[in-house]
Structure 1
């Protein structure tokens, strides 16, 4: 299992991935899930992958040479000559389908699902930044202002903090911090996600990236994030009122009747009749 996050903001893009691959309790390895494709001044693209490692590696290898048919009279489209991120993600989708054609039926005969999911984002020329989530079937959706981030892999533990804090106007530094908190929540709750992490921050319009870091267990900033987040959560939790069951005075009474729902009915014997619904 793995966990990857891609965030698209007005100011740029943030990508974060772990590096753990788990094929059983005694087969835990480190494989990096982030790939960067860059031609400075022309295009910048980042790919995050989750799912079956062999499928993901095959897709990444093919992506560098995959081509799709271009307009009449023009050469085939690759990620290196695509004029838009939409065309580039079409090339990626074609690579996913090609790997399925090569390996999908063989995997199925051995009881293995064709399982991969990808986040692909970047900027080409003067086109606005775009980011896509690609499924195993090769189809994809695009991030919007209403949904400015994607997750793949073990996403449930790190989703709440992203939902509460991320919006298109979030700064890049705030988004990077939020992504690291989201990753820490996942690391805390799931052993199949692990260090080191790859963090990349891309500033809109630069068409190159110099903000990339590999984070291990000794990284001072990530140690601070992990310690501070846990401590502040406990402080906030301790600062909340405990529920009161005695009906005493409280600014936030728990024993408040609901205008819509009745309390739960106890079953005290075979004669108890349960209301439908």
Structure 2
């Protein structure tokens, strides 16, 4: 399992993903789930993956190969005219990988190879956009009513996002919100784990300037985790007791 979040703000986009993969309690590994393509001043894409690891690795490899391949192997994500077309390209590629992986291309067999994608970024001349792409190749776009997407193990980290998100919040506040969401998920589910990958994309920057890996012993993450736990205990204790 995994956990990834893409968040749309007035200021830009925020991405965070864990790095744990789980094929049973005795087979836990770490793999990167956040990938980027960037042409400074022209376009920036961020892609996060959840689902079958072989499927997602093949998807990313195909997208990467097409950026370096001869003309006859286009289309390339670095040449699409819009974020919408980028989402269509990723969706088609994902659908094709799943179909080719399933024995006999049977729909029932395809479920073992399913994967879900978050894609966000900006192309010069248009606004930043954020999409969630399904295994079937179709997708939905973030909007004012649905300003963030989660993939993977979503339920534990969702309540804080729903309650605390504000579109005009700063990047600093958004990182704090993300860390609480991930800390809640990590504590509740062993299939999600550190380290975390984080990327902040500022509108119209058309470049990747704030990207880092957050290790388990990161001082700020530790502070957030400890203080959030204490704050929850205090809030619970301050609620009135049920009267029998």
Shift, 1:90, TM fit: 1.1
Which secondary structure state, in structure 2, belongs to the residue aligned with residue 64 of structure 1?
helix
Which secondary structure state, in structure 1, belongs to the residue aligned with residue 24 of structure 2?
coil
**Rounded Cα–Cα distance in structure 1 between residues aligned with 2:132 and 2:174:** 19
Which residue of 1 is the match for residue 185 of structure 2?
186
Which residue of 2 is the match for residue 102 of structure 1?
100
**Rounded Cα–Cα distance in structure 2 between residues aligned with 1:107 and 1:198:** 34
Distance verdict in 2 for CA 1:26–1:106, change over 3 Å:
farther
Structure index of larger Rg? 1
Shift, 1:103, TM fit: 0.9
How is 1:1-277 mapped onto 2 (pairs within 5 angstroms)? 1-66=1-66, 77-105=75-103, 113-245=112-244
Distance verdict in 2 for CA 1:199–1:107, change over 3 Å:
farther
On the 8 A contact 1:18/1:196 being kept in 2, the answer is yes
Structure 1: 5+ residue stretches without partners: 68-74, 246-277
Shift, 1:95, TM fit: 1.0
**Which structure features the higher share of helix residues?**
2
- 1:50-102: CA deviations, max 9, x gaps? 000000001111122459xxxxxxx9642111121011111111211221232
Shift, 1:155, TM fit: 0.2
Task: Return the TM-score normalized by structure 2.
Answer: 0.92
On the 8 A contact 2:3/2:153 being kept in 1, the answer is yes
Of structures 1 and 2, the one with the larger relative CO (CA 8 A, separation 6+) is 2
Task: Return the TM-score normalized by structure 1.
Answer: 0.82
Shift, 1:106, TM fit: 5.5
Structure 2: 5+ residue stretches without partners: 68-72
**Rounded Cα–Cα distance in structure 1 between residues aligned with 2:77 and 2:206:** 14
Distance verdict in 2 for CA 1:51–1:107, change over 3 Å:
farther
Q: Count residues with an aligned counterpart.
A: 238
